[in-house]
């Protein structure tokens, strides 16, 4: 007769994170929000497409605000006090995400724009011959 071993599940420990980093990646088609701790471990994330917005509605400021709210709601269990914002991209959702932090009166310690800017990068296409 074989004995079954029952594995005990450990209770998930929720750590207190005092300072969190919020990465806002805003493109012309979608807005993605990621909240991490200072080491870069992901605490929560959300996007406009994840919330059910489809097509052109994903690229609206309203969808970006809803995605920000959803990501912050998931991260509420970590007792975050300070936020550092890292904004990347040129889509319409970048301003909406910043505005959401201002309306909720959350403590933002700094905001940094990490959008890549080319320093005379790739060679452009040759002109079209018509």
**How many CB atoms are located within 10 Å of the residue 86 CB?**
16
**Kind and range of the H or E element at 93?**
helix 93-103
Q: Cβ contacts of residue 115 below 8 Å, gap of 6+?
A: 87, 88, 89, 90
The tens-digit pLDDT sequence of the chain (130 residues) is 666 777 777 666 677 888 999 999 999 999 999 999 988 899 999 999 999 999 999 989 999 999 999 999 998 888 888 999 999 998 888 888 888 888 888 888 999 999 988 888 889 899 999 8
Q: Give me the phi and psi of 20, to 5 degrees please.
A: -125, 150
Could you state, in order of their start, the residue ranges of all structural domains in the chain?
Answer: 19-113
User: Which CATH number applies to 19-113?
Assistant: 3.30.420.80
For the chain, the residue count is 130
Structure tokens at 8: 């005990």
């Amino acid at each position: 007769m074989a004995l079954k071993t029952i594995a005990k599940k450990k209770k998930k420990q929720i750590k207190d994170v005092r300072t969190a980093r919020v990465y806002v990646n805003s493109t012309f088609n979608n807005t993605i929000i990621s909240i991490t701790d200072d080491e870069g471990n992901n605490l929560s994330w959300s996007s406009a497409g994840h919330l059910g917005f489809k097509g052109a509605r994903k690229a609206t400021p309203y969808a970006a605000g809803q995605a920000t709210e959803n990501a912050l709601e998931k991260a509420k269990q970590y007792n975050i006090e300070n936020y550092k914002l890292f904004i990347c991209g040129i889509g319409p959702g970048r301003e909406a995400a910043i505005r959401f932090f201002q309306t909720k009166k959350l403590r933002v310690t700094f905001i940094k724009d990490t959008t890549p800017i080319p320093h005379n990068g790739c060679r452009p296409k040759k002109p079209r011959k018509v």
